[in-house]
Structure 1
């Protein structure tokens, strides 16, 4: 099996982070596995608590940061430490229920030209999450926000954006790999410099996917699965929604507004 590493970037919610860490350790037997937990300057003391927590496993490395650098910079903080073949980018609301990381890394490296992959994610109640997506366009992102409130063309466009009009039961190439759970070849992650530090939060995973696509292919691997709580509600938080708009503007300025190939 290839050597693997993973990183969780935490911001508050100590109990949730601990649950994610313990599930990953429980279902990842590799003795040389490294799990980095980066605390992004949590104001509630989460970082200090994590640093003082005995997980009973030397494979956990806690890195408390002095301030909140944002999602991408938090993940980039571990790049100089990585000596793995495949690195996993994981949200703190991910729970593993079986041995996924090593088999998924092995699958990724065995597929010629593949650089990144994401598994099938589900809500805690078992419902499917529609996270594989086509390359964003302004219209598709607008439809994504309006679809829950309106039907018709918005819902149809959102179904197209989240590839619900495609067969996702077998491995296939995608154009937008979610940052909630991403396996990336470590050499590629290092070569592209990780996440673009200009993004504080939102759309940085779409940007990273576009950078990865310049080096190889990106895949949905639905034969692997995990639980994802998915805490996200930008339309109900004015500050987060504004941040999302800023990130979207940065993304389209950098990559253009054209459609992808999937």
Structure 2
């Protein structure tokens, strides 16, 4: 099995990461390594990472989501034993998953020759509340659908998807990508400080390969996500809307056009 590198960015999540043993992955052992970037440096998190053998850095604080993960990828790329066929996994600090599920994901990706993939996220351990982590690329008409879908991006109905399939894009809460492919794409676009950087990355991957993100519905994890306040007065709302407009502009005016063959189910 190839080495699996798991990137986690903390913004004051030290208590959560320590209590959850870094989402259940601390001391997972070879061939799996965990890399933590701490944007609000915490002595307790640093000590814990040293204790359990997790790579820790608090360098370059204040970066956006994509830039933080790009920073971690460069550390991975410079590490001993790094290989282009390694798996780079972007994972939120509020994800709970087993090492066995990530190892199985790697095996499935090898079998399917998939360069990017995700799994089935739920909002509870019982697996009764689905997380909308797989979605359809937004387009010019997306703002008109907001009253219906309550979002600028439409979710897939997971109950209608086959055992495994390609989907447009998945949330950066959990995204696995072959290291060589992530590097070929140039990683995340740093112009997105927050929001839509995962949409943009998946779209560029689709343009390059002609394939979407591989989705494995029988591999489960829990995402205890809390949506930020997006009232029009909040900075998160401004970041969200500006990032949406940036993606739409690039999709239609900058990126090469390719017939979109992935059909919503």
Which TM class, normalised by the smaller chain length?
Answer: 0.7 to 0.9
Give the TM-score of the pair, scaled to structure 1: 0.83
Compared CA separation, residues 192 and 131, structure 1 to 2 (3 A):
same
- C-alpha separation between the residues in 2 aligned to 1:219 and 1:39? 29
Compared CA separation, residues 173 and 8, structure 1 to 2 (3 A):
same
Instruction: Indicate the residue corresponding to 1:123 in structure 2.
Output: 123
Moved more, 180-189 or 16-25: 16-25
Could you say what secondary structure the match of 2:238 adopts?
A: helix
Q: Quick check: 1:139 aligned with 2:133? A: no
Give the TM-score of the pair, scaled to structure 2: 0.82
Compared CA separation, residues 90 and 142, structure 1 to 2 (3 A):
farther
Instruction: Indicate the residue corresponding to 1:174 in structure 2.
Output: 167
**1:152-190 deviation per Cα after TM superposition (whole angstroms, max 9, x unaligned):** xx14x8699212287225111111121011110111011
Instruction: Indicate the residue corresponding to 2:192 in structure 1.
Output: 199
- C-alpha separation between the residues in 1 aligned to 2:123 and 2:192? 27
Could you say what secondary structure the match of 1:193 adopts?
A: coil
- C-alpha separation between the residues in 2 aligned to 1:141 and 1:108? 34
Compared CA separation, residues 210 and 186, structure 1 to 2 (3 A):
same
Note if contact 2:23-2:95 (Cα within 8 Å) is conserved in structure 1.
Answer: no
- C-alpha separation between the residues in 1 aligned to 2:50 and 2:188? 28
Compared CA separation, residues 215 and 111, structure 1 to 2 (3 A):
farther
Q: For structure 1, which runs of at least 5 residues remain unmatched after alignment? A: 147-153
Instruction: Indicate the residue corresponding to 1:245 in structure 2.
Output: 241
Instruction: Indicate the residue corresponding to 1:65 in structure 2.
Output: 59
Note if contact 1:76-1:194 (Cα within 8 Å) is conserved in structure 2.
Answer: yes
Could you say what secondary structure the match of 2:172 adopts?
A: coil
